[in-house]
Amino acid sequence: MDELRVIEDFPEYGVARDGSIYNLATQNIRRASCTREGAVKITLFRDNRPYTRSLPKIVAEAWLYNHFNPEIFDTPIHLDSDLSHNHVDNLA
């Protein structure tokens, strides 16, 4: 398994550089889904309540986020324009 970083708002989950989301307790990969527009979303649970979040934003916040200047980070950009390619190397 790749190196994982804990998702800040969802400490039961970790995110890998390739955009995979793992449940840290079970090591199971969570499945993402696509909106009609092609954006990739994922549903994570906290306190038995579901929350749907943008997968590229989760990846970028975990691996690219600049804690010294947070106002410059808003929406991740897919460098190859493929919204399903959520590897950290494809996000800016």
9-55 tens-digit pLDDT: 999 999 999 999 999 999 999 999 999 999 999 999 999 999 999 99
User: Is 92 inside any structural domain?
Assistant: no
**Is the confidence at residue 71, as pLDDT, over 70?**
no
Look up the CATH number of the domain holding residue 43: 3.90.75.20
Q: How far apart are CA 54 and CA 72, in angstroms?
A: 18
Higher-pLDDT residue of 75 and 38 is 38
Q: State residue 59's pLDDT score.
A: 95
User: Is 27 inside any structural domain?
Assistant: yes
Q: State residue 68's pLDDT score.
A: 61
Tally the domains of the chain.
1
3: helix, strand or coil: coil
Structure token pair of residue 92: 């800016």
Q: State residue 65's pLDDT score.
A: 74
Domain of residue 79 covers 4-86
**Is the confidence at residue 76, as pLDDT, over 80?**
yes
Q: How far apart are CA 85 and CA 72, in angstroms?
A: 22
**Is the confidence at residue 1, as pLDDT, over 80?**
no
